[in-house]
Structure 1
Amino acid sequence: MRKIKRWKQGIAVAGVIALTGSLFAGCGGADGKNSGSKGKTGSSNQAGNADTADLVNVNTDNSDGKKTKDESTKAMGRFLENDLTVPENSQFLRDVKVLDSGALRMVYYSTADNCYYAADSADNGETWTNGKSLEELLGLKENLGEYISVVSAAADGSIFVGADLSPDRDNENAQTTADSGEEDSAYDNLKMEFFYLSPDGNVQKVDTGDTIQSSYTFQACFTENGTVLIVDPGNGVAEINPSDGSLVRRYEEGISVDFIGTAGKMLFTIQDQTLHGYDLDTGKPLDNISALTEQIQSDEQDVNWTTTSSFPLMFLKGDEDNSLFYIDHTGVYRYVLGGSTVEQIIDGSLNSLSSPDTGTVAWGQDSDGNFYVGCNAGEDIRIYSYVYSKDTPTTPDTELTVYSLKDSDFIKQAAVLFQKKYPDIYVNIEAGMSGDDSVTDTDALKVLNTEIMAGTGPDVLLLDGISEDTYIERGMLENLSGVLKDEDILPNIKDAYTKEDGSIYTMPVKFGIPMIEGNKDIIAGITDLTTEADAAESQKDSYGKLKFFSSFSISPSGLIQGTIDNSTPAWMNEDGTLKEDALKEYLEQVNRIWQTQKDAIEETKKAYQMGDDWANSDRSGYTNIAGSITDLLVKVNTVAAGGLLSPEGLVYLDSAKKVDPDLDYRLLNGQSENCFYPRSIVGISAKASEKEAAEKFVKFLFEEESQRASNDEGLAVNSKVYEDMAYWKMGKSSGDTIGSIGTSYDTGDGNIKQFVMDEIIPEDEAIQNIMDLGKTLTVPAKSNQIIRNAVTESGEKYLNGETGLDDAVKEIMQEVNLYLSE
């Protein structure tokens, strides 16, 4: 029996494909009755019991990106988000539908028994019936499990299912072929069969004949007319009658469609980042949707389908025959065909729609105008209702600005949770560097410093990559000791950031543990950076084509970025200047490692005709070590190194030992001992304009709800959460298999093979050992981006032989001193 796999791209081979089983979603609803907008006001049609004019956000954006309110009127009315329950053991959502009866139906996958289920709720998601397996509903004797690739539920109770019932479906050769680049033949041996459960409970196998030309399909959905739309890869979209399988109509014949959605009598397709609309009654293209097309195509996230477990864009029937709703990561919108504007009725920045871990799967609307949105969030299902509250301000009265040098998914997720608790506060997250422009770290920090000194800066700062000591010395940060006095923070973390007088100006919200995994005999001798270089030299005879020391060691810059964090404290003085001798020693040891790798890198690049870009990606030591585990297991790397940043990271480390008993893992010291990686280091500006809101936000970040938020950006610093076995086991039990990860790799003789590792929850002893280890770490590996850049730039030239050691050290010292003087 196949397992749901999550394929990780390592450095083993350039063409690994990403799979998550066959967890594809439905098309969107045919049962909606509400309204929507993208920042512009428009029609005053009814949306449930709320007038559209009351729903539209009256705020505008000024030049500095902050929202301003029209002081003459205070708009009231907003959809508020509510979390609904989900059935026990539900892991992956496939569809959510508001039935004609008014009940909710959800179809989901459970890894507990490898089955798909349908469950109903008659009380708006407060409770659910015991789920019935699709096999039971369809009268099938065999457990189809992950062989089901398409599921769609209809408002009248119908269910349509597509599954791979080919005799050799367990043969992984098809996927291996795809990994080797022959995508056209990846599913040649598969055979899709379709089943239809009618409203009266009758089940029949649907014979589509030659209508579906592809041997595999990934999306199907009901239309309001009772027909079924099936994406036929490479040949558009087929509309069939589910009762007999006959073809009603084909759309975009001969074209590869990415995904589709329906809104009442309208079909929308996305292909090649373009939106196309069709009238389902006539089959003709919609010719009056130019404003909608322009709006959607202007947001690249809407038209790029990057994951198989959710959709970036979904449609729903509107409140009039010629209107529709759509939903994306920025909110819910309403559009009237032929209109020149698109209206926003739900601002995604005020709820979970904007959270990085939320992937929308399906949605609907009841007769009262309430929206229901089903999402996959990591390993969990989330179903939200959006209920209109006429007494809530359209936009919050208070705007809190949170700044980070680079984009932070964790803070975005935390902001969503915070705004649920404090709906009167809007969290505006600003990133100094977007990555899409030429702004450098230095540029961004100069702007930030100028704004702070002028009193126009952010209220809360994330100081990752920023010299927090400099900000403290200059009196730019508030004392947090009062804010954090009642927060249960791990003593070793809190003490590391507490001054002698008891003041606290910054505190990491999460932390990571530097780890290394490899052969027991090899890693036993690695106690610092010098012995790590010794180990690299001891294994030099094993390096060659796709054979390296670690994933960090495949480029000079990557090697520096992968080893700098737990060495920096050894060469930092209290005033921020560097210890020249310690810095010199660091570069010498890193160079020793690099000299063992050069020939292997060149051999690999030549064999696979790779450019330098292949090896020059960011491989910071803060990167989750989990990303290197598969390369370790397929013998591409001698060791895996990086940060343990999540409970799932420990699952990877421990599961690897079960695959290869000769492996072990331990703390990785650099030039400094007992380091931890501080993550999301938070502080409050001394000139914060919204100090009370800033204190609430910072306090919230350390509370249990925020600390338990699902993310892989760091371990909890809240003692109660960190010491909870359930946190480490992610709600499962020791020995449970929660999934699997895999990679495709070159065996060295031209053959491509697959490797799969089951993810197994560790035993209590393994968890306790890591838990205890984390409590012993006392030295924060503070990462100053300016220093990191200076060391990387000059260090890379030294490792490449372009400059001498003394000159490289001199350049670094000059660069850092110049920065400090400013």
Structure 2
Amino acid sequence: MGKVNNKYGLVALSSVFALSMFGCTKVGSAAEMGRYIEEFYDAPEGIYDVRDLRVLSDGTIGMLAYGEKEIELYISDDECQNWNRKEINLPQGDSENSMLSVNNAILSKDGNIFISYYFYDYMKSEEDENLKEESVDDNAEDATDDKYFEPEYKYAFIDDEGSIHDISLDEISQNTAEDEDMSYSRYYYTFKFAKNGDIVFSNDNGMIYQLDPASGEIKNEFVLDDSYISDFTTVGDSLVIVGGNSVKEYSLESGKELGNIKPLESEVLYENNSNFYGISNIFSDDDKTIYYTSTTGLYKYKLGEKEVEQIIEGSLSSIGDDNMYISTFVVGKDNTFLACGQDYNSYEVGTSIIRFTYSADTPKVPENQITVYSLYENYQIRQNIVLYQKANPDIYIKLEIGTSGEDAVTESDALRTLNTEIMAGKGPDIILLDGMSEAYFEQGLLEDISDVIADYTKNDLLFENIIDAYTDKNGKVYSIPTKITIPVVVGKTEYVSSVTDLQTLSAALVKSAENSGKANDDKYVEMYTPSMLVSMLYYANGSTWLNEDNTINEDNIKEFLEETKNIYDAYLATYDEAQYEEYKESMQSYIDEYGEDIGIYYLDNYLNPMSIMNESSKKLAVGVISGRDFIEYMYSLSKGNQDISYALINGQTSGVFVPKNLMGINAKSDNKEIAKKFIAYLLSEESQSKESYDGLPINKAAFDKISEYPYADEFVGENGEGYSEDQSIGTWGFSNENGTTVELKVYWPTKEYFNNFKAEIESLKSPVTVNTIVLEEVAKAFDKYANGNATLDEVVKNIGDNIDLILAE
């Protein structure tokens, strides 16, 4: 019954095949000449966090940044190479202890400044800082007397002669509070100067306002009929608003809507471009041109035209570097671009000033090129490409995405196209195998990369057990993950310690649900749809659902469905009928938006051990460890005498890990040496020690590095002391269902704690290969079985029959 061919072992939601990562945007070919190159300049000493950068009316560059005097103004007459500080008047408090805090500042082309700010009492702040807070355990009292005092935000317009003009926005705040039954003042943010000197700004109720700073009059109010406002910019006499579902133009003169901007909507809305990561900066330098940046580069659009043009390729510049937070961008002289940002590539964060200059004699892309293919968008690989290319400017790495849109083409269609290209000798150089099957190396499509691995293993730099899992009997390695995640259970030690197999896992989850009590209006108890539960438990069980000859293992599937139904019924019992109907309506809205297979997101269910502190939560959870934060939280809980622990999960199998970024080289590639160098980089300490949440490093040195407290040198304790092991580094807290605050002191784990976790990594032996065909069929079958629409025998038979039908197609 039901044979399964592994070549259909895919994982992800259905989407489309795309020939290139650039969609419909204009890009040049490898033979073209000309691209922007970047230069870095020193920022003025002592500044941090540039708030605004502006080309002034006299052609100089003005910059507002935080510094010794809170907010400071600097002027450059050589396009950011050198700076002179210019004194500005700032508001003063009522007493010598009143300290100014500027939370937003913008600069106009005429040299006018607008700031939002508040004052705080310096002495009271110092006293609050010295208050010692105690960690809590399960029996600790909640902090009931903690109150949050919202700052009194003020606004000021500082003209180019230094005069300060107070501006009141209280009327807007009061009107909003009356409309929404809120008694607190509104917080305004994202202020921008328009061409005519007006100030356009947004607030947290989804409105955008146009203010005349001279009169204090609100000239126009703009309401975007959308889910949220992502960003906006002024272009001449127009306002362009980017929302969650639309991009619209408005007139700053009449306040009227002028229509949707379709070319921008096709590029910057997720529904049209699922590979788009969002706008980082959006700005304009004339009456028609809009520029915006995202991870993939700098783009240009002229109002009224039909296409968006890519100006700078993100992977060939700092624009694509996620650790380079570029906060401001302007157009300089002779088509140059100037930017300021914070460089987070090391723990010593500094301000960077970057000048992008067009070089007609530089190839549009470097001559040495390789292509990395991934079925799905992979942000971490994209970031590694950026960092590698910055260190190796003679190499260009193109990331090609197989599934990227809303078309009807499936993953299997994308794989068929990929196979055709590989067999014709036109395929990519590196293949990211996540979501693909073992059939690739079984068919001899992948190159042996054991020589790359040997350079690390001879010095014991990689976890040997992970390498062994990908080494065949002849000592060859055809694929290797760069990261792994680890399925675990976390919760009350009583439950965690009892889990040894699927039956005890089920019993523990049922008991934790029963002991959590009935849900009520003030108490949230989590609930999962049947498909969510199947996905959440897949890693510990799914690899046993097929026999070695690829026939379905009916006994294991039956056992899984029976035990999972016990869990589902126990969770369901925590809701009354009305609450559960409300929950189903909520889940249906998610299904309508994201599709029937939304449950597959729970394959990698994120775990935050701190959530177990909440009395309203169940005291046992299943998920994956995908980053260092899990270890930090668990250690702090143990220090707080919390009766909470974790363990590697045991179900129908044990000792499992999930490979992430599984890389292989096309055996027909003409660029194997470059491809091997890039994979070697991905396995290096430099690459793997970058903090991320896509998995844990398999490089031992990188693991040891992330176990070190990164801020030890800058740490100052409550009494002025430096950092020492096992010292509190802060406090974590939340409000429970009764509205009281629960706090826990946070500690950095000791070396011993990290080493114990490292030993657990070294005990793992079995990578989990996700077979989406089987997973989806089991999930659909369990939905019928759990809701009483079919018997156990009926749904198991359907699983096999449906898989047979799929393969027959």
Please report the TM-score for the alignment, with normalisation by the length of structure 1.
Answer: 0.72
- Maintained 8 Å contact 2:491/2:612: no
What aligned pairs does 1:10-25 form with structure 2 within 5 A after superposition?
A: none
Partner of 2:310: 344
* Residue 637 in structure 1 maps to residue 598 in structure 2: no
Partner of 1:723: 704
Instruction: State the SS of the aligned residue for 2:561.
Output: helix
Structure-2 change in CA distance of 1:341 and 1:418 (3 Å) = same
Mapped partners of 1:203, 1:587: distance in 2:
70
Q: For residues 583-603 of structure 1, what are the alpha-carbon distances to aligned partners after superposition, in whole Å with 9 as ceiling and x for unaligned? A: 444334333322322323564
Mapped partners of 1:630, 1:131: distance in 2:
49
- Maintained 8 Å contact 1:462/1:680: yes
Partner of 1:247: 216
* Residue 408 in structure 1 maps to residue 408 in structure 2: no
Partner of 1:522: 495
Q: 1:703 aligns with which of 679, 684, 692?
A: 684
Structure-2 change in CA distance of 1:517 and 1:302 (3 Å) = closer
Mapped partners of 2:91, 2:484: distance in 1:
46
CA shift at 1:505, angstroms? 0.6
Instruction: State the SS of the aligned residue for 2:454.
Output: coil
Instruction: State the SS of the aligned residue for 2:770.
Output: coil
* Residue 613 in structure 1 maps to residue 606 in structure 2: no
What aligned pairs does 1:316-327 form with structure 2 within 5 A after superposition?
A: 316-318=284-286, 325-327=291-293
Amino acid at match of 1:273: S
CA shift at 1:485, angstroms? 2.5
Partner of 1:486: 455
Q: For residues 504-537 of structure 1, what are the alpha-carbon distances to aligned partners after superposition, in whole Å with 9 as ceiling and x for unaligned? A: 0111111112232212222222233322112123
Amino acid at match of 2:189: F
* Residue 393 in structure 1 maps to residue 363 in structure 2: yes
Structure-2 change in CA distance of 1:664 and 1:316 (3 Å) = same
Partner of 1:790: 777
Partner of 1:18: none
CA shift at 1:709, angstroms? 3.5
Partner of 2:210: 238
Mapped partners of 2:617, 2:551: distance in 1:
39
Structure-2 change in CA distance of 1:426 and 1:785 (3 Å) = farther
CA shift at 1:722, angstroms? 1.0
Q: 2:282 aligns with which of 298, 314, 329?
A: 314
CA shift at 1:538, angstroms? 2.9
Higher RCO (C-alpha under 8 Å, 6+ residues apart): 2
What aligned pairs does 1:807-822 form with structure 2 within 5 A after superposition?
A: 807-812=794-799
CA shift at 1:152, angstroms? 2.4
CA shift at 1:701, angstroms? 1.7
Structure-2 change in CA distance of 1:724 and 1:428 (3 Å) = same
What aligned pairs does 1:538-577 form with structure 2 within 5 A after superposition?
A: 538-543=511-516, 545-546=518-519, 554-570=528-544
Q: 2:753 aligns with which of 742, 753, 766?
A: 766
Mapped partners of 2:191, 2:237: distance in 1:
16
Q: 2:564 aligns with which of 590, 598, 605?
A: 590
Structure-2 change in CA distance of 1:502 and 1:400 (3 Å) = same
Structure-2 change in CA distance of 1:587 and 1:465 (3 Å) = farther
Q: 2:298 aligns with which of 307, 332, 351?
A: 332
Note the aligned Cα RMSD (angstroms): 5.2
Q: 1:682 aligns with which of 641, 647, 663?
A: 663
Please report the TM-score for the alignment, with normalisation by the length of structure 2.
Answer: 0.73
* Residue 160 in structure 1 maps to residue 130 in structure 2: no
Q: For residues 196-234 of structure 1, what are the alpha-carbon distances to aligned partners after superposition, in whole Å with 9 as ceiling and x for unaligned? A: 556666666445674776542222134566654333657
Instruction: State the SS of the aligned residue for 1:436.
Output: coil
CA shift at 1:625, angstroms? 3.0
Mapped partners of 1:94, 1:310: distance in 2:
20
Mapped partners of 1:377, 1:610: distance in 2:
45
Mapped partners of 1:95, 1:737: distance in 2:
33
Q: Which moved more, 1:792-801 or 1:134-143?
A: 134-143
Instruction: State the SS of the aligned residue for 2:642.
Output: coil
Partner of 2:389: 419
Structure-2 change in CA distance of 1:362 and 1:774 (3 Å) = same
Amino acid at match of 2:580: K
What aligned pairs does 1:393-542 form with structure 2 within 5 A after superposition?
A: 393-397=363-367, 399-434=369-404, 436-468=406-438, 470-487=439-456, 488-542=461-515
Partner of 1:192: 153
Structure-2 change in CA distance of 1:769 and 1:63 (3 Å) = closer
The number of equivalent residue pairs is 718
- Maintained 8 Å contact 2:525/2:574: no
- Stretches of structure 1 that go unaligned for 5 or more consecutive residues are 1-59, 171-186
Q: For residues 461-512 of structure 1, what are the alpha-carbon distances to aligned partners after superposition, in whole Å with 9 as ceiling and x for unaligned? A: 22223222x2222112111112333233222211221122211011111111
Query: Percent identity over the alignment?
Result: 28
- Maintained 8 Å contact 1:107/1:118: yes
Structure-2 change in CA distance of 1:376 and 1:615 (3 Å) = farther
Mapped partners of 1:706, 1:573: distance in 2:
38
Q: For residues 743-785 of structure 1, what are the alpha-carbon distances to aligned partners after superposition, in whole Å with 9 as ceiling and x for unaligned? A: x87x4xxx77787878764444433332332233222222233
Q: 1:694 aligns with which of 655, 675, 682?
A: 675
- Maintained 8 Å contact 2:88/2:162: no
Q: For residues 82-127 of structure 1, what are the alpha-carbon distances to aligned partners after superposition, in whole Å with 9 as ceiling and x for unaligned? A: 67788999997744557889677464699xxxx9765969898899
